[in-house]
Amino acid sequence: MFSKILIANRGEIAVRVIRACKEMGIRTVAVYSEADRSSLHVRLADEAICIGGPKPEQSYLNIPAIISAAEITDVEGIHPGYGFLSQNAHFAEICESCNITFIGPPPQAMQLMGDKLAAKDLMRKAGIPIIPGSMAAVRNKEDALKTARRIQYPVIVKAAAGGGGRGMRVCHNDVRLISALMTCQAEAEASFGNRDVFVEKYLPEPRHIEFQILADRFGHTIHLGERDCTIQRRHQKLVEESPSPAVDAKLRRKMGELSVRAAKAAGYVSAGTVEFLLSRDGTFYFIEMNTRIQVEHPVTEMVTGLDLVKEQIRIAAGESLGYKQDDIALEGWAIECRVNAEDPSNGFSPCPGRITEYQPPGGRGIRVDTHVFAGYDVPPFYDSLLAKVISVGTSREDAIRIMQRALDEFLIEPIRTTIPLHRQIFSDPTFWRGQLATNYLDRQLQLGEAE
């Protein structure tokens, strides 16, 4: 086992990883930007090193600075968290070449799954259903129009290297498709340094269902059931739950087996997520694989009793899983709300600034993963996630009721957050019935979606 690791991240996930390390008797090194000097992850770690300016490229994306920090502090491993360098195969390779274990999948698997087109191709060959569309990057508008004619509108243009809902446009006709092609290519180039985009069929009102998998270095690969992440805004998740109200034991077995097959086909090791879209008629399709710990991992932890960050660390240290698929049982129901520093009543505009009053919820069935405290300044440079509220109950209704009272207790002042929107969702009868699709927020709350 490692004796010391560095966490190449910030915010709630850095705190989350430090906590797991402490429980495992592993010493921790935090890295931080000049904007994060008084952050919680800096305070909780055994050592902390400033790695650069506030902008991500000066610090949390600054590979030489992070590697230097790792060498100075003599760590054996680096946990990348999510976002930043977590899916950067080049960074993982550099870590390995410096004799530092990257706590994540092998670089080859990251590279393969980081390209949505390559991933789709691999999955098709492995017999996993994929959404009809282009099988290679779109070269020009004729190419895009030809694909749209074959698969019929509506279609979605997507960046091959995409993530976080960026570089994606839904199109209902030729004119929109041609303009979307150009905007997506430009957005993909700016966000991911890769212009490749492709076209696929846009499914009407699907649910987003993803499977958590764990794979060790000895060929043991298992799944930990599904998360339903259907409630999204602009293709970004806002509420997640496990299990899904739309998945029964039979479908779970089928999708779970295919997820394990997908991970094996990619040569995957570590914790990962296989994402699918599920249609109303019960058909489902692979969309992508995320090669990192995900924001919404706690809902799986609450229903399986496992600690996914510890599992990642154990796997990276060369331990075998030590349990089989049959040993995994889902118990109860867990739901997570993402509390972001955004104003839902004003187009979700970011709301950085000082938090003067902070009172988190507690009590039976509540877990809050956060880096926030009274007096914390929310910097304007990073993503807006402030806290994740996770409720766990004996049933979905129990988990909803616990979440409702937790949202009522939660006080963060004076900045605006997504808490009022969550309150609205949790008191909506459609949400209670679990009759959801990815256009739910659009439809139910008339929030309007940018296409």
Which stretch, 100-108, 197-205, 254-262, 394-402, contacts ligand ADP (CB under 6 A)? 197-205
Q: Give whichever of 292 and 371 is closer to ligand ADP, judged by the CB atom.
A: 292
Give me the least distance between CB of 163 and ligand ADP, in Å please: 4
Task: Return the CA Rg of the chain.
Answer: 21
Q: 427 Cβ partners below 8 Å, 6+ apart?
A: 404
Binding of ligand ADP at residue 211 (CB under 6 A)?
Answer: no
Catalytic residue among 292, 314, 396, 416: 292
202 is a contact residue toward ligand ADP (CB under 6 A): yes
Stated as kind and residue range, the H or E segment containing 413 is strand 411-413
Q: Which member of 52, 107, 114, 206 binds ligand ADP (CB under 6 A)?
A: 206
Q: Site for ligand ADP (CB under 6 A): which residue of 12, 196, 226, 275?
A: 275
**Among 155-163, 294-302, 379-387, 411-419, which window interacts with ligand ADP (CB under 6 A)?**
155-163
Instruction: Choose, by CB under 6 A, the member of 76, 200, 336, 342 that binds ligand ADP.
Output: 200
Q: Is 162 in the site for ligand ADP (CB under 6 A)?
A: yes
Query: In the bound complex, what is the minimum distance in angstroms from residue 56's beta carbon to ligand ADP?
Result: 18
**What is the C-alpha separation between 174 and 177, in angstroms, rounded?**
5
Query: What is the signed CA dihedral for 33, 163, 272, 129, rounded to 10 degrees?
Result: 180
Contact 117, 162 (CB under 8 A): no
Residue closer to ligand ADP by CB (options 7, 287) is 287
Helix (H, G, I), strand (E, B) or coil at 163: coil
Q: Report the residue number, 65 or 425, with the smaller CB distance to ligand ADP.
A: 425
Question: Which one of residues 33, 147, 232, 244 is an interface residue with ligand ADP (CB under 6 A)?
Answer: 232
**Alpha helix (H) residue ranges in 193-326:** 249-265, 297-304, 308-316
Candidate residues 165, 347, 375, 414; the one interacting with ligand ADP per rule CB under 6 A: 165
Distance CA 107, CA 365 (A): 38
Report the distance separating Cα 421 and Cα 232, nearest Å.
Answer: 12
Q: Which is nearer to ligand ADP, 201 or 416 (CB)?
A: 201
Stretch that binds ligand ADP, among 202-210, 293-301, 403-411, 414-422 (CB under 6 A): 202-210
Pick between residue 164 and residue 375 the one whose CB is nearest to ligand ADP: 164
Specify whether the CB–CB gap between 348 and 342 falls below 8 A: yes
Query: Collapsing DSSP states into helix, strand and coil, what is residue 165?
Result: coil
Distance between CA 424 and CA 374 in Å, rounded? Answer: 26
Name the minimum Å distance from CB 124 to ligand ADP: 15
Concerning whether 292 is annotated as a catalytic residue, the answer is yes
Contact indicator for 313, 79 with CB cutoff of 8 Å: yes
Positions of E strands within 254-397: 270-278, 284-290, 333-340, 342-343, 349-350, 353-354, 357-359, 366-370, 377-378, 385-393
Out of 53, 163, 332, 360, name the contact with ligand ADP by CB under 6 A. 163
Q: Does 288 bind ligand ADP (CB under 6 A)?
A: yes
For ligand ADP, the binding residues (CB under 6 A) are: 131, 156, 162-165, 200-203, 206, 208, 232, 235, 275, 277, 287-288, 438
| Active-site annotation, residues | 292
